[in-house]
A and B are shown apart, each in its own frame.
Chain A
Amino acid sequence: MSVRAMTNLITYRGGVGQLSFVLHRLTGLGILLFLVIHVVDTSTVFFFPSLYADAIAIYRSVPFMIGEIFLVFSVIYHGVNGARIAIFDLYLVRNLEIMTQRNSAKWTLAISILLWLPAAVIMGRNVFEKLGI
């Protein structure tokens, strides 16, 4: 199968619109996966308090701390893009035109990265501290 055929297989309409659709789904599913794990680990404070330190120790490892930075991006992007969807669907239905949608999809990505960068710097510094760099 050629590369072209492969990309056709996973492409619906393509472009910015599909990119935000895919990002919204992936970040949403990723957040849910962490949310379920997080509800379980926090519940150990009541069910198995002696296990809580072990659960937190996993989060304190470097791979999880790097994952946490991506988790924060997911929460920010899903929130900004979700706000875009909700506001257009509920309050700005008349502005649902393809050009405004394309522009707002680009703005969503830009705003998300701007909101994420300060958090990523603070959390990234913690990772470097842990590594002793």
Chain B
Amino acid sequence: MARIINLPKNGEMIAWRWMRYSGLLLIPLAWGHVLIQDVLVGVDNIDLNYVSMRWAFVGWRIYDLFLLVFALAHGINGLRQVVLDFVPKKKNIRLVNQAAFVYWLVMVLFGIAALLGGVRKP
């Protein structure tokens, strides 16, 4: 029988919940993306025209935006947890947390710029 205990309400608890809820959301998002792009369409049929055709429909841009933000936040938090397994010092833990946040922010802003800007034909 599992033992029920009261859990602390701190940042790590939020991160723990975050991984589970965002993970459940990412299953349809990421699987749908992989099924369409990798299996059904295939990398041989993907080029600039394909991307601009797909992004012409705003729904796909919102889909990609959700995937971008949630997948990066889930993935980088996962990386943070793996790294923190090897970092015992409090001072270094804070450093890792800050680095993870900056990494996430840079990647998300990079992706959002492309999503908003769209395809520029060369």
Q: A29-B79, A82-B23, A126-B42 are in contact. Are A43 and B111 (CB under 8 A)?
A: yes
Our count of residue pairs bridging A and B at CB distance below 8 angstroms stands at 114
Residues of B6-55 contacting chain A, CB below 8 A: 19-21, 23-24, 26-27, 30-31, 34-35, 38-39, 42-44, 46-48, 51-52
Chain A residues lying within 8 Å of B19, measured Cβ to Cβ, are: 86
CB of B58 closer than 8 Å to a CB of A: no
Given A68-B38, A83-B23, A96-B2, answer yes or no on A46-B47 (Cβ-Cβ < 8 Å): no
> From B64, which residue of chain A is reached at the shortest CB distance?
A42
Contact residues in B for A56 (Cβ distance below 8 Å): 43, 46-47
A60 interfacial by beta-carbon distance below 8 Å:
yes
- Collect the chain A residues with CB atoms within 8 Å of residue B4's CB: 93
B contacts, CB < 8 Å to A: 1-2, 4, 19-21, 23-24, 26-27, 30-31, 34-35, 38-39, 42-44, 46-48, 51-52, 68, 71-72, 75-76, 78-79, 82, 107, 110-111, 113-114, 117-122
Interchain residue pairs with CB less than 8 A apart (30): A28-B82, A29-B79, A31-B75, A39-B72, A43-B111, A45-B51, A45-B114, A45-B119, A46-B118, A46-B119, A49-B121, A50-B122, A52-B47, A56-B46, A60-B44, A64-B43, A72-B38, A75-B30, A76-B31, A79-B31, A82-B23, A83-B23, A85-B20, A89-B20, A90-B20, A90-B21, A93-B2, A94-B1, A119-B38, A122-B39
